[in-house]
Chain A
Amino acid sequence: MNNEKRENSFRSNGWRTASYIYLAVMLVLLYSPVVIMIRFSFNDSRTNVVWQGFTTKYYDKLFHDANLWHIFFVTLFIAVMVTLIGTVVGTLGAVGFSKTRFPGSRLIEDFIYFPLVLPEIVLGIALLLLFNFNGIRLGIPTIIIGDTTLVLPYVFVTVKARLSGMDPSIEEASIDLGANRMYTFFHITLPAIMPGVISGAFMSFSLVLDELILTSFLADAATVTLPMKIYSMIKRGITPEINALTTIIFLVVTAGVVVYLVSSEMVERKQRRVEERRGEAAE
């Protein structure tokens, strides 16, 4: 896109000012809940009303809460497992379905998309019924199954989008030159779709870390994840401990997002440079 043209695309200076003000107001509105939460997590008062002085005592308390650490590691374990299974199954599926049609494959593809539009509560209940009918005990494995079902379409879609931008002749060339399917997949296809795979994995991970509805339907009484814990804390009333806990989560995930974006930007730049050089060499 032509940047110069875009820069001048405001109808007039008045429009430009109005646009910027609107943008600023929206951002302030979107961020004010977060800012207020962070501020009160340092407030030396049990109520979230007036500012009484700076304290980090709620953070100290959280760091020494063994139960909370346990919940944190359970949540992390579930998120890692779901991301691994979801990314592998979803990526393989996206590649497979882009090449193969078999009887009923259209229908299966429709069903893969189901969790995108089905309310989580419906999916949660349906899975609960499945486990119940088969006498499967609820626990961490059932949570992993449920959350994976939820993230699969996200991986599927992001990888599929990447595949559609790929030139199929590259893979054909690899096979014609005698490489087998496996070699071609790992050395040609996978590197080409890697950005899609990574963003699918990233989406899955952040979805699962925040997943509450499905998880609470599929958890037994002994299993608690971080969102479940926060939810039950909130239902008992607002306390500075929740502010501190959610502030930590917010800052950690924000840092993760920034690192992810910067690194993917760098990878893309590198790829572009390599391609440019290749183009020059070809000339």
Chain B
Amino acid sequence: MEKNNIKKQKHSKRETASRIIMCGPITVWTVLFIVLPVALLVFMSFLTKGSLGRIEYRFTLKNYAEIFNPAYLNVLKESVLIAFWTTLVTILLGYPLAMVMSKLRKKTSGIVAIAIMLPLWVSGLIITYSLVIMLNSSGTVNSFLMGLGIIKHPLQLLYNSFAVIVGMVYMFMPFAVLPMYSSIEKLDPAVIEASEDLGASPARTFFKVQLPLTSPGIFAAIILTFIPCIGYYMIADMLGGGKSMLIGNLIYRQFTVSRNWPFGAALSVVLAAIILIMVRIYTSRGGSMDDLA
């Protein structure tokens, strides 16, 4: 022990230097480009909008009060609804996919996981754009359905909430499958067998044993889908055709068309707060931040 202590002292100066070199850059970066900007955003949300988009340094709570304007509350409601439906569809489609993957050989399931991720890995923007081509009134889906004689006139698939949800599911499902897959993978098959041996039906085993045991993966998937969904404005912009206004679009407008920065900042703070509360719930229930990367 004593020997160790002497050694430690000898090294301590160098140790400090090396720790500063390692922790220093990321700490400075985080303070400068995350803490400071977020603080400024909060500060801005209490300022007053002057004429011509200028900002007056007068404290006000008006920006937050304005959010309760029914028109804006509606946008908030719409955003949460779209995020909710997207999450639901994503889990319902993704969980069976994760189950199938867990039944495959390890190597095959790895390849399947990459195949699922690949299009998004390349570019989410491109996928969204391809969906515009597909869902067009003269697009692939419509001509396919008309060719089969299922419909006589093209359906309006594009520029509505349906299109936005389809786009969001495409965007987030591949990411949501992975945590569900890894929690199903960790499930001990003996538990399932035990349930069946004790006479439970497959359905009962699934709902009473497998689902509760894999709920951490499902919860991570929900976080991975719901959170980015509320803030993402590109998909609503491209597939919703400007008709479906989400909170992300509303914020974007405050900084471009409307030039009301304080109100945009207040909306951003509210959005960030909602998300941080959700993340808090996630981590307090044992979820790991590392799983979200």
Residue of B nearest to A93 (CB): B26
In the complex, which of the residues A32, A100, A119, A127 contacts B134, with contact meaning CB atoms closer than 8 Å? A32
Q: At the interface, is chain A mostly helix, strand, loop or mixed?
A: helix
CB pair A128–B103 under 8 Å, yes or no, is no
B122 in contact with A49 (CB, 8 Å): no
Contact with B along A4-22 (1 / 0, CB 8 A): 0111011100000001101
Q: Among residues 1 to 27 in chain B, which have CB atoms less than 8 Å away from a CB atom of chain A? A: 7, 11, 14-15, 18-19, 21-27
Interface stretch, picked from A60-68, A76-84, A174-182, is A174-182
Complex Cα spacing A179 to B38, Å: 42
State whether the Cβ of B293 lies closer than 8 Å to any Cβ in chain A: yes
Residue of A36, A153, A210 near B293 (CB, 8 A) is A153
User: Is there contact, CB below 8 Å, between B143 and A49?
Assistant: yes
Instruction: Give Cα A36 to B261, complex, Å.
Output: 41
- Flag A105-125 by CB within 8 Å of B: 1 or 0 each: 100100111111111111101
Number of A-B contacts (CB under 8 A): 247
At the interface, yes or no: B37 with Cβ under 8 Å from chain A? yes
Q: CA–CA, A152 to B100, complex, Å? A: 33
> Which chain A residues (243-260) contact chain B, with CB distance < 8 Å?
243, 246, 249-250, 253-254, 257
- How extensive is the interface on chain A, given as a class? 35 or more
Per the CB 8 Å criterion, the residue count for chain B at the interface is: 88
Which residues of B201-240 have CB atoms within 8 Å of chain A's CB atoms? 202, 227-228, 230-234, 238
Interface residues of A (CB under 8 A from B): 1, 3, 5-7, 9-11, 19-20, 22-23, 26-27, 30-34, 36-37, 40, 47-49, 88-90, 92-93, 95-97, 99-100, 102, 105, 108, 111-123, 125-130, 133, 145-146, 148-149, 152-154, 156-158, 160-161, 175-176, 180-182, 185, 206, 209-210, 212-213, 217, 227, 230-231, 234-235, 238, 242-243, 246, 249-250, 253-254, 257, 261
A-B contact pairs, 20 of them (CB 8 A): A5-B189, A30-B174, A34-B127, A89-B29, A97-B22, A100-B19, A102-B23, A121-B248, A125-B251, A125-B265, A127-B33, A129-B265, A152-B29, A154-B293, A181-B14, A206-B121, A231-B125, A246-B129, A253-B123, A261-B114
